[in-house]
Structure 1
Amino acid sequence: MKLYHREIGEGKPLIILHGLFGSSDNWMSIAKELEGHFKMYLVDQRNHGQSPHSDEFNYAAMASDLNEFIEEHGIENPSILGHSMGGKTAMNFAINHADKWDKLIVVDIAPRAYPVHHDTILKGLKSIDVDNLKSRGEADKQLAEYIKDMGTRQFLLKNLARKSDGGFEWKINLPVIDKNIEAMGEGIEEQLAIEKDVLFIRGEKSDYIQDKDNILIVQLFPNSEVKTVKNAGHWVHAEQPKALLEMVTEFLEVPYNA
């Protein structure tokens, strides 16, 4: 699948993968802080952003997409940063293509399986009558019946696009995401240890990476470390960008001036 992407910066290659319901522009502010050190490829994963839609939606397919993207663009030995779903994609790719990457950064996701926990978000998104929608404000009002947090609603409604002939449509492939949401919680069953440098970054207020996950993390990635960003939840890059950047630049061995 030919994925849509944004390029920014010059230097060593760094690929950035967004999370579920996200897109490449979620990481643009972080990328701008790194553009003096890296040539970054901010990728829209399948069924998200401006990339194609497909009925196939699982980590095997998305890891294959990433491999195809790297080969298509002739990217040699990139570092890869993935948040949440993007982190799972990156880990699946890293295990199956250990010779095609340099360093790996996984933001607030562990290799383990997760129960489905996006029911409310999906119900809220499906409740929006897109075909008859008159404004974003109207969409926000409908979504607020399910999701009280304004920041979360604003993030989700970035997936709402105006059509050229008027009206609105979803950028995300909502029916397929809804149908395959259990696949997004699947763990990594491969037990082949990868002897490369990996950094896991977790939010202090998030429960996505727990202390008990360290056992599985070390089994898969013996040369890994887990660092915690204080006062951050799951969206670490949005809540504490400075702290995240300090950890990322130290790991990738480039200077960072806040």
Structure 2
Amino acid sequence: MKLNFKKTGSGEPLIILHGLFGSADNWFSIAKELEDEFTLYLVDQRNHGDSPKSEEWNYQVMAEDLNAFMESEGLKEANLLGHSMGGKTVMKFALTFPEKIKKLIVADIAPRYYPIHHETILEGLNAVPIDKIKNRKEADDALSEYINNPGIKQFLLKNLARTESGFKWKMNLPVITKKIENVGEEIKSEKPFEKPTLFMGGENSDYIQDKDKEDIERLFPNHHLIYIKKAGHWLHAEQPQAVVETVRTFLKR
């Protein structure tokens, strides 16, 4: 599968993967801050953004997508950063293709299984009459019946794209809805990833808990865990400068 991506900057390669319902654009402001020091590849994962849609959607195939992407770009080795769902993809990739990673950054996610907690969002997205809406406000109004948070609504509505006859979802909403349990899948391996790894959590997020430290230590023994102050799960949006400095310090060390 040929993934859509945006490339910017110059220097050592850094590939960034977004989370569920997201796209490469979510990390563009972070990339702009790092482009003087790194060549950044902002990638749309399958069933998201402008990348192809597929009925097959799990971390194994997303890791294989990333491997194919690196081969197509002639990247024998790169630094990887993944947030949330993207964090699980890069963990799976690191444990499968360790020789292709220089350093790994996992943003606000642990390897463990997570119970599905996106039911309201999916219900809201599926309630938007995508074939009938005439403008973005109508989509916003429909989504407001399920989601009150303006920031979450704005983030989700970035998936709206204009067509000749109206609007469509960029993401593959039917497959994501049907296979949402795959996002919570545990990342497992008999063999650990031993290269430098940074787990970067949000201080106000509950995604990386004390109970996760044993799994992190077992799978990523050469790791460092830090929490970004005054940040929740969307740490790159809430504390972008702190994230930039943390990423830069880790990769340059």
Q: TM-score range by the shorter chain?
A: over 0.9
Cα distance in structure 2, aligned partners of 1:44 and 1:19: 10
Deviation readout 1:43-78 (Å, 9 max, x if unpaired)? 000000000000001000100000000011101310
Pairing 1:206–2:205 present? yes
Cα distance in structure 1, aligned partners of 2:190 and 2:199: 18
Q: Corresponding residue for 2:95?
A: 95
Residue type at the aligned position of 1:148: N
Q: Corresponding residue for 1:80?
A: 80
More displaced stretch, 15-24 vs 68-77: 68-77
Q: Corresponding residue for 2:157?
A: 157
Q: Corresponding residue for 1:33?
A: 33
* Residue 211 of structure 1, CA deviation: 1.3
Residue type at the aligned position of 1:132: K
**Structure 2 regions of 5+ residues with no counterpart?**
none
Residue type at the aligned position of 2:75: I
Partner SS, residue 81 of structure 1: strand
Partner SS, residue 200 of structure 1: strand
Query: Counterparts of 1:15-34 in structure 2 under 5 Å?
Result: 15-34=15-34
Partner SS, residue 45 of structure 1: coil
Q: Percent identity?
A: 59
Q: Corresponding residue for 2:179?
A: 180
Q: Corresponding residue for 1:65?
A: 65
Q: What's the TM-score, normalizing by structure 2?
A: 0.99
Cα distance in structure 1, aligned partners of 2:193 and 2:187: 13
Partner SS, residue 237 of structure 2: helix
Q: CA RMSD in A?
A: 0.8
Runs of 4+ that moved beyond 4 A: none
Cα distance in structure 2, aligned partners of 1:232 and 1:86: 18
CA contact (8 A) 1:79 1:101 kept: yes
Partner SS, residue 61 of structure 1: helix
Q: Corresponding residue for 2:49?
A: 49
CA contact (8 A) 1:16 1:82 kept: yes
* Residue 166 of structure 1, CA deviation: 2.7
